[in-house]
Amino acid sequence: MLTGLYYAFPIFMFMCGSWVFVSKRKHLLLTLLSLEFMVLSMFFMLYMYLNLTNFEVFFAMVFLTFSVCEGALGLAILVSMIRTHGNDYFQSFGVLQC
């Protein structure tokens, strides 16, 4: 009983992160946080799969490195957007504006 819950927990985490990503789409910071939560749940699923099949955990470290780079890139975009527009609302800037 407990092992089924152990394997269903990362899927529940991913679904919660995707629900927050869809429902809170007005702020860039909230979308970035929900994307990072989804990446964390995928890392958890990958780690459990690699431990279950007795593979090396080195690929999990490569995945974690790429997810950290993705998070740093998202924060850089957030900082540049706040410096140019003053806030992180998606509706505060036009599509045709440079």
CATH assignment at residue 13: 1.10.287.3510
Range of the domain at 23: 2-92
Q: Residue 62: what residue type? A: V
- Residue 38 near residue 46, CB atoms below 8 Å: no
| Residue at 39 is within a domain | yes
- Residue 46 near residue 64, CB atoms below 8 Å: no
The pLDDT value recorded for residue 92 is: 66
The pLDDT value recorded for residue 2 is: 61
Domain count, the chain: 1
| Residue at 84 is within a domain | yes
Tens-place pLDDT, residues 75-96: 998 888 888 877 777 666 665 4
Share of the chain above pLDDT 70, in %: 89
| Reported pTM | 0.82
- Say if residue 1 is exposed, middle or buried (CB neighbours under 10 Å; 0-12, 13-18, 19+): exposed
Please report which residue ranges of 1-98 form alpha helices under DSSP H.
Answer: 2-23, 28-52, 58-85
The pLDDT value recorded for residue 97 is: 55
Q: Strand, coil or helix: what is 24?
A: coil
| Residue at 98 is within a domain | no
| Residue at 97 is within a domain | no
